[in-house]
Amino acid sequence: MKRIILALAASSILTAGAASAETLKVCAEGAYPPFSKTNEAGDLEGFDIDIANAICDEIGVTCELQATEWDGIIPALLEKKCDAIIASMSITEERKKAIDFSEKYYNTPARFVARSDADFTIDEDGLADMVVGVQRGSVHQDFMEKTFPEVELQLYGTQDEVYLDLQSGRLDAAIQDSIAADDGFLKTDAGDGFAFIGGNQNDPAIHGEGAGIGVRKEDVFLKYALSAAIAALRENGTYKEINDKYFEFDIY
């Protein structure tokens, strides 16, 4: 059964008009460590990138990764600049109106980060005079706009920019994925003096069911093939290998 789906997927990529039958064009990001970042040679690396390559291996195609600015990543998919988004994108109802998703490939909660000595609470009063940073077009922006509409929000193009302004003191707090914040910021030198504040923020209606691979709605076979590939990676241990390279526990 799996073989058939994979074969169908390969043909669906072909008809989707990718540059050639053997490549899958993948939109990734590049400023969201440890999931994706740009290394010294200018190449992409990180959890998302490793997963993308493993999935392409599983389907039997080559990944052609391209760094895409986050707030234009769904438009880029819709305009066929790429065929799939592997960029830690949460599967949400709002996004499902525009695109479709594979099954999740990881799921971690969102949390606020602030200075370790900050003494405000995460509620309407505690955040009243604070400036909070989020990545533009992320679920965290939706979360802030719906849960704390009165709080002053600053929108950034990348998560790295959020950390920079958090460190320099332009922001009082930031909300983002807890794992991304932990490994991409708190555990680095720059994150010295910062800590999580409050518990996990989880609103299923906004945060969705984890990060999935975004595809165009018409590419149904590709969607199934990607889900099947994720399941296969979980089964054959490749996922665990990649997971352990970055994290101390299973983030699935």
Partner 1 sequence: MRFELALQHWEVFASGVWMTLHLTALCLLIGGCIAIPVAFAMLRGGVSGWLATGYVYLFRGTPLLVQLYLVYYGLSQFDFIRETWFWRPPAYLRSACIEDLMGWKVCAADFIPSLRSAWWCALITFSLNSGAYVGEILRGALKNTPKGELEAATALGLTDKQVRRRIHIPSAFRRALPQYGNEVIFMMHGSAIMSVITLQDILGVGRWLRAKYYVPYEGIVASAILYLVITYLLVFAFQLIERRYLRHLNIKAPGAERGWFGRSAV
Partner 2 sequence: MRRSASTEARDAASLVLWVCPVNRAARLIPALGVVAALILLLTFAVGDYQALLLKGAAVTVSLALCSLVLATTLGIAGAAAKIRGGRILRFIASIYTVIARGIPDIVMILLFYFGGQRLLNAATEAMGLGVFELSAFVAGTLAIGLIYGAYLAETFRGAWQGLPRGQIDAAKALGLPTVLAFRKVYLPQLIRAVLSGYSNVWQVLVKSTAVVSVIGLADLVGIADKIGKSTRDSFMLMTIVLLFYLTLTIISERGFGWLERRSDRWAS
Binding site for partner 2 (CB under 8 A): 17-19, 25, 30-31, 37-38, 40-42, 66-69, 72, 75-76, 79-81, 158, 160-161, 164, 167, 190
Does 198 bind partner 1 (CB under 8 A)? Our answer is no
Asked if residues 131 and 171 have their Cβ atoms less than 8 Å apart, the reply is yes
Amino acid at 154: Q
Judged by beta carbon, residue 136 or residue 234, the one nearer partner 1 is: 136
Span of 75-83, 217-225, 229-237, 243-251 interacting with partner 1 by CB under 8 A = 75-83
Cα(89)–Cα(73) distance, integer angstroms: 10
Minimal distance, residue 39 CB to partner 2, in Å? 9
Q: 164, 220, 231, 232: which one contacts partner 1 (CB under 8 A)? A: 164
Measured CA distances, 43 to 62, 65, 84, 85, 236 (Å): 16, 9, 19, 17, 27
Binding mask 53-72 for partner 1 (x = CB under 8 A): -----------------xxx
Minimal distance, residue 211 CB to partner 1, in Å? 17
Query: CB under 8 Å to 36, separation ≥6 — which residues?
Result: 28, 29, 30, 44, 45, 46, 47, 48, 49, 87, 88
Amino acid at 80: K
Does 14 bind partner 1 (CB under 8 A)? Our answer is no
Query: CB under 8 Å to 42, separation ≥6 — which residues?
Result: none
Give the residue from 248, 243, 232, 250 showing the smallest Cα distance to 35. Answer: 243
Out of partner 2, partner 1, none, which partner does residue 38 contact, by CB within 5 to 8 A per kind? partner 2
Q: Which strands sit side by side in the sheet containing 110-115, from one edge to the other?
A: 152-156, 131-135, 173-177, 110-115, 194-201
Q: Residue 214 — φ and ψ, nearest 5°?
A: -80, 135
Minimal distance, residue 12 CB to partner 2, in Å? 14
Does 157 bind partner 1 (CB under 8 A)? Our answer is yes
Out of partner 2, partner 1, none, which partner does residue 32 contact, by CB within 5 to 8 A per kind? none
Any alpha helices (H) in the chain, and if so which ranges?
A: 2-16, 47-59, 73-78, 93-96, 139-147, 159-168, 178-181, 204-207, 220-236, 238-246
Out of partner 2, partner 1, none, which partner does residue 126 contact, by CB within 5 to 8 A per kind? none
Out of partner 1, partner 2, none, which partner does residue 136 contact, by CB within 5 to 8 A per kind? partner 1
Judged by beta carbon, residue 17 or residue 237, the one nearer partner 1 is: 17
Does 92 bind partner 1 (CB under 8 A)? Our answer is no
| Site residues (vs partner 1, CB under 8 A) | 70-72, 74-75, 78-79, 95, 97-99, 136-137, 141, 154-157, 164-165, 168-170
